[in-house]
Amino acid sequence: MTTSPPAAGHLPLPRWAYVPGEADEAAADYETLAQVTALVPSRFGGHVPARHPALRYALRLNDHGYFWESQEILEAVWAAAPQGGRERILLRACIQIATANLRLRMQKPTAAARLLGEALGELNALGMRNAGGDGFADGFPVAGLGELIKAKLARPPLAKADWVAFGAVSRT
């Protein structure tokens, strides 16, 4: 009998948010992140489950302001996602969003705007691909996220307060 991995809500948040340039990389809370990356399989079969704890945790990290940490976990999930799958496209967009949020915190609005534009391109590409499964990309509010990003990009310049939270878009 296999046991389910722990829910993302039960995993501890990192002890601090790492911001490159404010501290050396050794200051990142790798110990906490290692607990989560250990939950990511070497390969997901068929699709990335929308309820996978590492994925849910990464989204929660972003929404709590742990942008660098979110990016790290999302990259681990992306690396295990099936090649050519819809999840890889959405995960790439989420990585770009978390990175854009980090750039906003670092007061680099031009880089953030570029990354959000790239994420919007990924979301548009995802919308053109067939849906109809039970993976992460099938139940995620892609259109709502795209509209949120468009609204942020429509009123430049971007500021720290313009970061994008995944939980800010409703599920349809």
CA distance 135 to 137: 6
User: What are the residue boundaries of the structural domains of the chain, listed by start?
Assistant: 31-36+49-163
Question: pTM above 0.85?
Answer: yes
Closest CA to 93 of 49, 40, 142, 53: 142
**Going by C-beta distance under 8 Å and a sequence separation of 6 or more, which residues neighbour residue 47?**
81, 82, 85, 86, 87, 133, 134, 135, 136, 137, 138
83-142: pLDDT as tens digits: 988 999 999 999 999 999 999 999 999 999 999 999 999 999 998 766 667 789 988 999
CA distance 132 to 10: 30
**Architecture per CATH, 31-36+49-163:** Orthogonal Bundle (1.10)
Closest CA to 57 of 45, 39, 80, 31: 39
